[in-house]
Structure 1
């Protein structure tokens, strides 16, 4: 069953089209993450579903019913937005309890419901405080707790962990999916953090310029990005992108990096001589000895330890920069000349003119530009 359907939604502000003929289905019990840069239209889309603003064109169906012209309070939706929107005259407890109070739940049910989400979000010690006495992180968690407390069938969450400290944000990435699953809610979750999107989403809808550019599971988005722009949004450090022109010899199709031939097994013949961009994840590059077949000569420019990993900036013979990522504690050169190994099977190939995917990593499967 589909809980939420958006059909050909258009939203304009004067001459600016914020959402452009956007359609989307969210299944019952699914957590769909809207991911993309600031200005992509994610929050506007959430506000349209909530009924806070109206579309200029298109329809919004919730549970199969047309809710396009239905007021927000009659849509049965739980919401937590970036601006908190807490009642300033009410304590955190009463703010969280407000959806339960509105449905005339018993005192026992209110106490249990508030206590459960407050403990999970680690705000049970500030329930007696009013919003002015709360930090921004506590306000954001209070707003999230209020949205969760009523166990609504459809939950809209607009970057609810943005003001939460790093430790709690990490914990919430683990705990929040379990809580949402236990409630059976259908969730539309907005974030600009790709790790959050990967951790929380059953599917991810990547947005840009008012359109959905790709939608799929976290694995599909990461391993088969539809284009160069999407590939660049997922990964830390970001993917390496080099202009190449594939060639072919008796051993098959290859590209040259530092004057060394890097084979691209399974590549279609029609890419030979075509202007392309090769995408190489930093974790797919390893340091090697010069005696290893296919070792690519580079110069190590800098090394940066990042807790669980070490990122190294290297430069090819043609002065093109690459980032290499390896687990912390793994030995590697700190400076000077060295060699790397690139497995052609783990690379992406994109069409340079359109940016579209030709072949995804780890397979011989071709993309839309093949």
Structure 2
């Protein structure tokens, strides 16, 4: 079933939590709700579930207005961040509760519980009550309960938050497949950008109670709507340098350590405009000194991080630069070096507002909100 949110407002006393949130999630699609702590993500899920009511706005499921509809009549499954397990029931009984409510046969209930418990690796604690479970086991029990009922709409509030790194990685592979098999319409909350990229058909970035950008994972990463979003996606974090575009023989350009980085012709209107240049670490590479456009810098240190090596360098004007290259790729560990920039991956933001200044390609494709 499709899910529609129109101009949702919610405040607690004088604290405005949601300020005009509108979202559309088509049937069977997964929307990841991504943002920092306190952005309003959990409150939005509780509004959809009917646990609390909005001050204004409309929530519709399959075109039906949910105003006044009780939570149990909305066809929603939700895994809460605080688990919300029945303390007097075992993990097995908690997971089975939506199946028991439907009066399924004992064999069907046992089969459904065992299948989910095995996938989430909690089949060995099914006889335990919540107080005997670790936080990670509680979280997976709550997730299994939400999935067991095969709801039309599934709300997942950071369901892998307390899971160890190995299982978290496995769940990033397994959980999307499980969700797709159920053909549920899903809103998945997380503060982990890698999780957001792995799970979402689309990502909605929310901050300060407002949706700042909605797009596919690649659109969010390659054309972030502002510097705040650019910082949230990527590890190491994006490099942001203050620049002022100038006009040269080859078109508009910006200077990095007195070297010209030529911008797309569509940025001619941004000449003399105070800007911020965004450079992803993986868009930077070491080059030989005589390479056209090579930028001199000094390598301060490097850190091998399994699949990649991260380098901290300083430009001739003292600006720090983070670079990233695949593990095993040669590069200087200290001292003088030169850097090349993949100009097509460079981003330009307004210095005052932080908003992305889209290239002509991005404008024509409508990628930036």
TM-score where L is the length of structure 1: 0.96
Tell me the equivalent position of 1:365: 362
Q: How many residue pairs end up in the alignment?
A: 366
Instruction: Indicate the larger mover: 122-131 or 197-206.
Output: 122-131
> Structure 1, residues 248-286: CA drift from partner, whole Å, max 9, x if none?
211222111111111223342111111111100000000
Counterpart CA distance in 2 for 1:261 and 1:4 is: 48
Compute the displacement of 1:359 (Å).
2.7
CA contact 1:266–1:364 (8 Å) conserved in 2: no
Tell me the equivalent position of 1:200: 199
Instruction: Indicate the larger mover: 327-336 or 65-74.
Output: 65-74
1:102-117 alignment to 2 at 5 Å?
102-117=101-116
Counterpart CA distance in 2 for 1:364 and 1:38 is: 33
Counterpart CA distance in 1 for 2:105 and 2:63 is: 31
Counterpart CA distance in 2 for 1:6 and 1:294 is: 49
In structure 1, the gaps of 5 or more residues are none
DSSP-derived class of the 2:2 partner: strand
Tell me the equivalent position of 1:97: 96
DSSP-derived class of the 1:25 partner: strand
1:350-361 alignment to 2 at 5 Å?
350-359=349-358
Superposed structure 1 runs of 4+ greater than 4 Å apart: 366-369
> Structure 1, residues 200-228: CA drift from partner, whole Å, max 9, x if none?
00000000111100001111111111111
Counterpart CA distance in 1 for 2:342 and 2:358 is: 14
Tell me the equivalent position of 1:273: 272
1:41-80 alignment to 2 at 5 Å?
41-80=40-79
Counterpart CA distance in 1 for 2:286 and 2:266 is: 25
In structure 2, the gaps of 5 or more residues are none
Aligned-residue RMSD, C-alpha: 1.4
DSSP-derived class of the 2:189 partner: strand
Counterpart CA distance in 2 for 1:162 and 1:298 is: 39
CA contact 2:215–2:367 (8 Å) conserved in 1: no
DSSP-derived class of the 1:358 partner: coil
DSSP-derived class of the 2:44 partner: helix
> Structure 1, residues 13-34: CA drift from partner, whole Å, max 9, x if none?
1111101111111110010010
Compute the displacement of 1:332 (Å).
0.9
Tell me the equivalent position of 2:24: 25
The question of 1:142 aligning with 2:141 is answered yes
CA contact 2:223–2:367 (8 Å) conserved in 1: no
Tell me the equivalent position of 2:118: 119
1:303-342 alignment to 2 at 5 Å?
303-342=302-341
DSSP-derived class of the 1:28 partner: coil
Counterpart CA distance in 2 for 1:44 and 1:163 is: 20
Counterpart CA distance in 2 for 1:328 and 1:267 is: 36
DSSP-derived class of the 1:290 partner: coil
Counterpart CA distance in 1 for 2:308 and 2:186 is: 33
